[in-house]
Amino acid sequence: MSRIIFFVVLISSIFFSNFSHAKNFRWSEKKVNIDNTGAFYFDRSSVKKIDNYIYYWSLGDFTKPLEGSDIKSTISYHKVDCTDIGYQMLIFLAFDDNMGKGNIIYHDAENPDKIEDKRYDSKGSIAYLRHESLCK
């Protein structure tokens, strides 16, 4: 039970200490996907290294809403395992306007200890290349 309370406090403090200052994010290093439907940024000042993990905020901005939704942009907080470049999105927010503006229309938070939530992108993907460079 204390582990769950710790997780809730950790995610809440990360969320409120970082996202409450969203207007202060400095999105940089724009990468556009191959079909030119989305641009992906991250805030270099949010990058934190703890042991063999990297934590950072990113923004996905889309030229049109994602299929079947009103989502025009997303902001997420990532945990990257530098041993295998696997990652988790600890916090995920979806917006009805571009560049993380407008209303939050979906949100989710993941337990950082749930290994089954770890994702692996292909080696040529924008996410993989970004994670690999951050882990160097």
Domain boundaries, the chain: 2-135
Report the C-alpha gap between 112 and 33 in whole angstroms.
27
Cite the beta strand spans of 2-69 per DSSP E.
Answer: 27-32, 38-43, 48-50, 53-62
Which stretches in the chain have pLDDT values below 70?
1-23
Q: What is the DSSP letter of 133?
A: H
What does the pLDDT read at residue 115? 84
What does the pLDDT read at residue 17? 45
Report the C-alpha gap between 19 and 27 in whole angstroms.
13
* Nearest partner of 59 among 13, 17, 25, judged by Cα: 25
CATH class label, 2-135? mainly beta
Cβ neighbours for 74, distance < 8 A, ≥ 6 positions apart = 59, 60, 92, 93, 94, 95, 100
The per-residue pLDDT for range 99-126, each reduced to its tens digit, is 999 999 999 999 888 888 899 999 999 9
